């Protein structure tokens, strides 16, 4: 009976013919992960030359082999004629998971840590840009530091690709893509290829600009690069305390604010179509959150003066953009201050940025859905459409957003319950769950002090990893992948039918 | 001088003199009803040997004002906006007048407290009663046990009246509301739609009340048999049938520390939070039909799973398995049915769930969100909405794999209309926003995060106890500032009326003001 069941699990590929959509997506995911790993490993190995160079040979060799495997693999793929949307999303999830395992293995190989759980947790925190890392590479360990920063940069870049170039073209939130050529505009994402090119261009410009800014602010070139990668990706994992200098803090504030801005807004600034940008409700809400959040935070922590404003702006910007740079609490924190930061992290920045959270556009959609429902209570037969950014949003998109809210709350509850059962107190459990799915650290206690993830047990650190992955990929890809997997297994196994057939044969 | 009997023409003329206002008409009648409860409590106070003058005065004031309002108005047009205004205003005014007995009796007038705080406490207790929440400002400096029997009975009666719904009461006796009364009942408890137990709305409302009264009597007998005294048994029956949770003792059910009492209450709370339509059908058909209902099965599954998880976690924390099971069963059911009774014998005792580990508390928080079944006296989001929400999420994910397929939402053997799915989705969005905004406001008023989250979810779901600083043995005076308590009181009313009536109650008056000069329509 077991052989019968296992026979159903073999993939359906016939040599010489095109692969199925699902197998193609899986293969492409593997190849893409290997390619990104190759770039990361090679770059880390070269970065190690700036230090003692102990790990250069290992890293460059591994990077080279991965690159070779990726190239060969890519040429051997017999791509399906058309890859289904669900398989694309599943492939994206698989790519991230494979990359996490690879980067974790790399941490173990170069000796950043000897613990598998720590390696996996840090790799996940880096690639999901969550700032709940547990490793602290030495100042001289350039390979380890570059690996951490590089994984954040790749994670942030990947998040942009998912938000701007993948999800809108594969069935989710199509209206949020910038595809319109109305008014002679050059859209950011008229098609997939152009979207990828424009994202690489913009992200590269912002990254280089931030690097230069930190260098001018007084950081060394390598340190500036590390901090810039953590800023631009909204990863937030840095080594030591590079923000002791006010100049560095100001650059970080500007860098984070730019990174939390929608790529569409940045694109329009670049192509010279900035007129009317401030009419964008989402942009105004984003800027308003930064200003109002800073003012409230200042009020509730008793801060004052230029230094107080700067520190408040730094903390609030790090929260709104879900970057999560650590900042030690100053003054006396009122009960509302940590709640304000938690709320800002869960709201998140603009849609189409590297930031996490639920994001402003989706919140606006939810608000409009709520208002429409109240109108329907009064006028049940009214036909009412939701408009965002001047465009009518399809009912399917609205339905997806509502479902995302439901799933986010479910994941938060499940994660909080698991970590609470594993020993964290209630406030910390809720904070950890919200930060994990919003991909924004660090977690704070009720008095504002920073909580160290290394103080948590290994099961707790493992329990929050799924929430980080789900949050970074904006829910859909992971959930679609999970439901596809369940469906495939049920279809292949057809356990009840096989059990009945087996019983029929043995009678 | 000739005497002529008044005829139909005279009555019509007198009615024409009355102002057309459904809101005022329904509110007036509701005030007359609640004055009846005050009067009964005054009688009990006199019989008990203490002065019932305060309660009598409150009853007279409420009855006179209610009668004047009722007699000077007649029902007007019943559109959706008017219905929401009528329901929202009735509850608001009834809750406000419901504070009069506490104010006249000086229940919260403890030495040194400003009059504004005394007023706020009286309002809070009244709203907590009528909304069947069960949160209390008694405790510490002002014990429940120090109050007279009349005040205690009045407190219990507020929850009993609020449990079935003041508007349902009005529809039962007001013939002039006729078919539109179903809209009023539906507005008071909007959800999947109210099942008609009879062809006529008035008969439907009457049957609901008969079921409710019958259940109350049954619970009272059960508690008597379990060892409670007559007064306590009746008082607790009133607040169990309504899943309200007020008790006549400071330690709530923990005062008796009796397994028999707890078991009776567990069964009663489960029945109170189940759909009353199922009870009626079971009685009519003379067999139990509850287990054929998917919502009821889901509701029992949630309670069962919650009990198992909490028992396991408490056992792992060192509690004996028997004790853990008893604590888990009672507290899971009391919060899962939005009743809010406590079986803690004191602070730090095993029933004080705010002293439990975080894991069981998270399970309780989850239960506090979802509450009982539709068509019951329970609060919360309701199990049916959870089921529909989960089904909607699943079909959205399936639609990714097959974009052109049509996937209806199934509940049992029936599909749920898309309009209902959209309404439930909208409800859950608004509910989530209220939780977030409410938590932010309450923490801004000086409450810590955990207590605020527990308080807001407890208020919206009409649960009773919160978490953090305010558990089953604590008073809301200790954990929340006066402004924060007022915010929670508003949320209690919003939650009791399932959000939309309270949020939309100002629409009709706004329209009237805008169209002033078209006559007295409201």
Other beta carbons within 10 angstroms of residue A14's beta carbon come to 9
Closest CA to B335 of B300, B369, B308, B289: B369
Rounded to the nearest 10 degrees, the angle between the axes of helix B80-97 and helix B53-71 is 160
Residue B521 has pLDDT above 50, yes or no: no
* Tokens standing for residue A380: 């049940």
Q: How far is B247 from chain A (nearest CA, A)?
A: 28
> How many angstroms separate the CA atoms of B236 and B226, rounded?
12
Residue B233 has pLDDT above 90, yes or no: yes
- pLDDT confidence tier of residue B520, bands split at 50, 70 and 90: very low
**How many helices and strands in chain B, by DSSP H and E?**
23, 4
> How many angstroms separate the CA atoms of B18 and B72, rounded?
5
Asked if residues B485 and B120 have their Cβ atoms less than 8 Å apart, the reply is: yes
Residue of chain A with shortest Cα separation from B82: A378
Note whether B440 contacts A84, CB cutoff 8 Å: no
> How many angstroms separate the CA atoms of A199 and A194, rounded?
8
> How many angstroms separate the CA atoms of B82 and B521, rounded?
9
- Nearest CB among A379, A380, A429 relative to B358 is that of A429
Q: Chain A interface, mutation test: which of B443, B445, B456, most A Cβ atoms within 10 Å?
A: B443
Average pLDDT over residues B59-82: 87
* Cβ contacts of B403 on chain A, cutoff 8 Å: 85, 171
Please state the ipTM of this predicted complex.
0.85
Note whether A373 contacts B453, CB cutoff 8 Å: no
Closest CA to B348 of B254, B269, B218, B259: B254
Residue of chain A with shortest Cα separation from B448: A335
Note whether A85 contacts B359, CB cutoff 8 Å: no
Which pLDDT does position B163 carry in this prediction? 87
**Residues B18, B24, B27, B28, CA torsion sign:** negative
Rounded to 5°, the CA angle B100-B103-B105 comes to: 105
> How many angstroms separate the CA atoms of B154 and B246, rounded?
11
* Cβ contacts of A342 on chain B, cutoff 8 Å: 449
Which pLDDT does position B164 carry in this prediction? 77
* Cβ contacts of B453 on chain A, cutoff 8 Å: 430
Which pLDDT does position B172 carry in this prediction? 58
Q: How far is B96 from chain A (nearest CA, A)?
A: 26
A and B: number of Cβ contacts within 8 A = 142
* Cβ contacts of A374 on chain B, cutoff 8 Å: 426, 430, 500, 503-504
Question: A31-35, A393-397, B117-121, B147-151 — which is least confidently predicted?
Answer: A393-397
Which pLDDT does position B189 carry in this prediction? 55
Note whether B366 contacts A413, CB cutoff 8 Å: yes
Asked if residues A309 and A303 have their Cβ atoms less than 8 Å apart, the reply is: yes
DSSP 8-state secondary structure symbol assigned to residue A161? I
Residue of chain B with shortest Cα separation from A171: B400
> How many angstroms separate the CA atoms of A1 and A115, rounded?
40
- Nearest CB among B447, B450, B500 relative to A377 is that of B500
Q: What is the per-residue pLDDT across B479-495, written as a single tens digit (0 to 9) for each?
A: 899 999 999 999 999 99
> How many angstroms separate the CA atoms of B169 and B221, rounded?
24
| Burial profile B189-215: b = 16 or more Cβ within 10 angstroms, e = fewer | bbbbebeebeeebbebbbbbeebbeeb
Q: How far is A361 from chain B (nearest CA, A)?
A: 15
Residue A384 has pLDDT above 90, yes or no: no
- pLDDT confidence tier of residue B193, bands split at 50, 70 and 90: very low
Note whether A421 contacts B359, CB cutoff 8 Å: yes
Higher pLDDT among residues A128 and A278, named by residue: A128
Q: How far is B257 from chain A (nearest CA, A)?
A: 28
Upstream peptide bond of B376 is cis (omega within 30 degrees of 0): no
- Nearest CB among B362, B446, B507 relative to A429 is that of B362
Q: Chain A interface, mutation test: which of B305, B362, B467, B483, most A Cβ atoms within 10 Å?
A: B362
Q: Chain B interface, mutation test: which of A173, A406, A443, A448, most B Cβ atoms within 10 Å?
A: A406
Rounded to 5°, the CA angle B357-B359-B365 comes to: 105
Determine which helix (DSSP H) or strand (DSSP E) holds B52, and give its type and residue range: none
Note whether B430 contacts A403, CB cutoff 8 Å: no
Q: How far is A383 from chain B (nearest CA, A)?
A: 12
* Cβ contacts of A407 on chain B, cutoff 8 Å: 393
Other beta carbons within 10 angstroms of residue A57's beta carbon come to 11
pTM of the predicted model, to two decimals? 0.88
Question: A299-303, A313-317, B39-43, B60-64 — which is least confidently predicted?
Answer: A299-303
Q: What are the φ/ψ torsions at residue B34 (nearest 5 degrees)?
A: -70, -25
- pLDDT confidence tier of residue A53, bands split at 50, 70 and 90: confident
* Tokens standing for residue B276: 């009353």
Q: What is the per-residue pLDDT across A135-153, written as a single tens digit (0 to 9) for each?
A: 877 766 888 899 999 999 9
Note whether B425 contacts A370, CB cutoff 8 Å: no
- Which residue intervals of B371-465 are DSSP H helices? 383-401, 418-444, 449-460
* Tokens standing for residue A301: 């922590």
Note whether A370 contacts B426, CB cutoff 8 Å: yes
* Cβ contacts of B81 on chain A, cutoff 8 Å: 378
Q: Chain B interface, mutation test: which of A92, A341, A420, most B Cβ atoms within 10 Å?
A: A420
Rounded to 5°, the CA angle A208-A213-A214 comes to: 100
Q: What is the per-residue pLDDT across A469-484, written as a single tens digit (0 to 9) for each?
A: 999 988 888 888 888 8
Q: Chain B interface, mutation test: which of A402, A415, A419, A431, most B Cβ atoms within 10 Å?
A: A402
Q: What is the per-residue pLDDT across B405-456, written as a single tens digit (0 to 9) for each?
A: 888 888 777 888 888 888 888 888 889 999 999 999 999 998 988 999 999 9
Residue B158 has pLDDT above 90, yes or no: yes
Note whether A370 contacts B433, CB cutoff 8 Å: yes
Which pLDDT does position B478 carry in this prediction? 84
What is the DSSP track for B308-321? Answer: HHHHHHHHHTT--H
Average pLDDT over residues A454-482: 90
Residue of chain A with shortest Cα separation from B84: A378
Q: How far is A217 from chain B (nearest CA, A)?
A: 37
* Cβ contacts of A338 on chain B, cutoff 8 Å: 449
Q: Which residue shows structure tokens 């970057």? A: A323
Note whether B362 contacts A483, CB cutoff 8 Å: no
Note whether A377 contacts B427, CB cutoff 8 Å: no
* Tokens standing for residue B198: 């009879």
Any idea how long chain A is?
Answer: 507
Note whether A370 contacts B430, CB cutoff 8 Å: yes
* Tokens standing for residue A185: 């505009």
Residue B19 has pLDDT above 60, yes or no: yes
> How many angstroms separate the CA atoms of A417 and B365, rounded?
10
Asked if residues A486 and A2 have their Cβ atoms less than 8 Å apart, the reply is: no
* Cβ contacts of B362 on chain A, cutoff 8 Å: 413, 416-417, 420-421, 426, 429
Any idea how long chain B is?
Answer: 522
Note whether B426 contacts A406, CB cutoff 8 Å: no
* Tokens standing for residue A278: 């401030």
Q: Chain B interface, mutation test: which of A367, A378, A428, A443, most B Cβ atoms within 10 Å?
A: A378
Asked if residues B295 and B374 have their Cβ atoms less than 8 Å apart, the reply is: yes
Which pLDDT does position B192 carry in this prediction? 43
Beta bridge partner(s), residue A444: A450
* Tokens standing for residue B212: 């409710």
| B19-20 and B73-74 strand pairing | parallel
Beta bridge partner(s), residue A391: A388
Q: What are the φ/ψ torsions at residue A501 (nearest 5 degrees)?
A: -65, -40
Note whether B366 contacts A399, CB cutoff 8 Å: no
* Cβ contacts of A406 on chain B, cutoff 8 Å: 389-390, 392-393, 428
- pLDDT confidence tier of residue B166, bands split at 50, 70 and 90: low
Q: How far is B498 from chain A (nearest CA, A)?
A: 12
Residue of chain A with shortest Cα separation from B79: A378
Closest CA to A223 of A232, A214, A231: A214
């Amino acid at each position: 009976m077991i052989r019968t069941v296992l026979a159903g699990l073999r993939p359906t590929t016939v040599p010489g013919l095109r692969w199925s959509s699902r197998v193609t997506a899986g293969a492409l995911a593997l190849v893409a992960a290997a390619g990104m790993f190759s770039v990361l490993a090679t770059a880390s190995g070269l970065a190690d030359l700036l230090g003692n160079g102990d790990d250069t040979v290992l890293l460059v060799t591994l990077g080279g082999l991965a690159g070779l495997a990726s190239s060969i693999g890519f040429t051997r793929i017999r791509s399906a004629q058309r890859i289904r949307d669900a398989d694309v999303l599943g492939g994206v999830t698989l790519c991230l998971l494979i990359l996490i395992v690879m980067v974790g293995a790399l941490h173990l190989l170069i000796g950043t840590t000897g613990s598998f759980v720590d390696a996996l947790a840090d790799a996940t925190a880096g690639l999901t840009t969550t700032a709940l890392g547990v490793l602290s590479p030495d100042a001289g360990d350039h390979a380890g530091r570059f690996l951490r920063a590089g994984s954040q940069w790749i994670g942030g870049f990947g998040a942009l690709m998912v938000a701007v170039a993948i999800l809108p073209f594969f069935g989710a939130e199509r209206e949020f893509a910038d595809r319109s050529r109305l008014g002679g505009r050059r859209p950011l994402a008229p098609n997939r290829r152009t979207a990828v090119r424009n994202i690489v261009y913009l992200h590269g410009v912002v990254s280089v600009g931030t690097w230069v800014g930190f260098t001018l602010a007084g950081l060394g070139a390598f340190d500036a690069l590390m901090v810039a990668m953590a800023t631009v990706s909204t990863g937030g994992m840095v080594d030591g305390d590079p923000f002791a200098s006010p100049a560095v803090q100001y650059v970080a504030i500007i860098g984070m604010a730019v990174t939390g801005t929608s790529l569409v807004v940045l694109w329009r600034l670049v192509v010279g179509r900035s007129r009317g940008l401030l009419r964008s409700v989402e942009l105004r809400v984003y800027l308003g959150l930064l200003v109002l959040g800073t003012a409230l935070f200042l009020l509730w922590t008793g801060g004052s003066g230029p230094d107080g404003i700067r520190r408040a702006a730094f903390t609030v910007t790090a929260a709104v953009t879900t970057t999560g740079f650590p900042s030690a609490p100053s003054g006396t924190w009122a009960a509302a201050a940590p709640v304000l930061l938690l709320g800002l992290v869960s709201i998140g920045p603009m849609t189409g940025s590297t930031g996490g959270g639920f994001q402003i556009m989706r919140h606006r959609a939810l608000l409009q859905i709520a208002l429409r429902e109240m109108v329907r209570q009064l006028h049940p037969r009214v036909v009412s459409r939701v408009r965002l950014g001047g465009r009518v949003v399809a009912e399917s998109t609205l339905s997806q957003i509502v479902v995302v809210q439901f799933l986010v709350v479910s994941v938060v509850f499940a994660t909080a319950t698991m970590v609470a059962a594993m020993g964290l107190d209630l406030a910390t459990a809720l904070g950890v769950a919200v930060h994990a799915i919003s991909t924004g650290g660090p977690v704070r206690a009720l008095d504002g002090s920073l909580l160290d993830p290394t103080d948590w047990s290994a099961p707790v650190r493992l329990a929050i990893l799924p929430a980080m992955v789900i949050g970074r990929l904006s829910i859909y890809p992971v959930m679609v992948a999970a439901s596809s997997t369940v469906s495939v297994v049920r279809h292949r196994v057809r356990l009840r039918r096989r059990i009945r057939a087996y019983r029929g044969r043995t009678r | 001088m000739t005497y002529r009997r008044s005829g139909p023409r005279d009555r019509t003329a007198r009615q024409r003199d009355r102002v057309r206002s459904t809101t005022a008409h329904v509110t007036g009648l509701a005030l007359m009803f609640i004055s009846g409860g005050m009067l009964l409590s005054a009688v009990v106070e006199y019989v008990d040997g203490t002065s019932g003058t305060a309660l009598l005065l409150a009853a007279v004031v409420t009855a006179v004002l209610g009668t004047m309002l009722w007699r000077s108005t007649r029902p007007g047009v019943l559109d959706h906006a008017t219905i929401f205004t009528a329901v929202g205003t009735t509850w608001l005014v009834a809750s406000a007048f419901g504070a009069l007995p506490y104010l006249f009796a000086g229940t919260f007038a403890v030495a040194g407290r400003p009059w504004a705080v005394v007023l706020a406490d009286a309002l809070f207790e009244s709203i907590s009663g009528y909304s069947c929440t069960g949160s209390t400002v008694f405790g510490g400096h002002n014990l429940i046990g120090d109050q007279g029997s009349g005040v205690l009975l009045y407190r219990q009666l507020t929850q009993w009246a609020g449990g079935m719904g003041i508007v349902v009461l009005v529809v039962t006796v007001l013939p002039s509301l006729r078919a539109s009364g179903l809209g009023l009942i539906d507005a008071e408890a909007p959800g999947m739609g109210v099942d008609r137990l009879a062809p006529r709305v008035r008969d439907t409302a009457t049957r609901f009340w008969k079921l409710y009264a019958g259940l109350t009597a049954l619970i009272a007998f059960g508690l008597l048999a379990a060892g409670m005294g007559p007064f306590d048994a009746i008082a607790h029956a009133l607040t169990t049938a309504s899943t309200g949770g007020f008790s006549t003792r400071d330690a709530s059910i923990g005062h008796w520390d009796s397994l028999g009492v707890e078991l009776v209450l567990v069964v009663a709370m489960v029945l109170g939070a189940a759909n009353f339509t199922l009870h009626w059908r079971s009685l009519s058909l003379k067999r139990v039909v509850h287990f054929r209902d998917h919502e009821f099965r889901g509701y029992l599954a949630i309670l069962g799973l919650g009990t198992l998880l909490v028992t396991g976690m408490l056992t792992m924390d060192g509690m004996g398995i028997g004790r853990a099971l008893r604590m888990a069963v009672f507290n899971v059911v009391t919060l899962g049915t939005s009743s809010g009774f406590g079986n803690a014998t004191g602070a730090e005792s095993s029933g004080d769930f705010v002293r439990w580990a975080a894991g069981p508390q998270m399970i309780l928080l989850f239960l506090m969100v979802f509450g009982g079944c539709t068509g019951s006296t329970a609060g919360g989001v309701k199990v049916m909405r959870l089921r529909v929400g989960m089904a909607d999420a699943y079909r959205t994910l399936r639609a990714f794999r097959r974009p052109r397929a049509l996937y209806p939402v199934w509940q049992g053997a029936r599909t749920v209309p898309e309009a209902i799915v959209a309404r439930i989705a909208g409800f859950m969005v608004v509910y989530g926003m209220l939780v977030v905004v409410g938590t932010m406001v309450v923490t801004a008023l000086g409450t810590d995060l955990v207590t605020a989250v527990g308080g807001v979810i407890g208020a919206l779901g009409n649960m009773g106890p919160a978490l953090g600083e305010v558990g089953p043995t604590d008073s809301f005076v200790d954990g929340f500032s006066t402004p924060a308590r007022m915010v929670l009181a508003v949320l209690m009313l919003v939650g009791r009326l399932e959000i939309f009536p309270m949020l939309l109650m100002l629409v009709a008056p706004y329209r009237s003001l805008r169209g002033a000069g078209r006559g007295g329509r409201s």
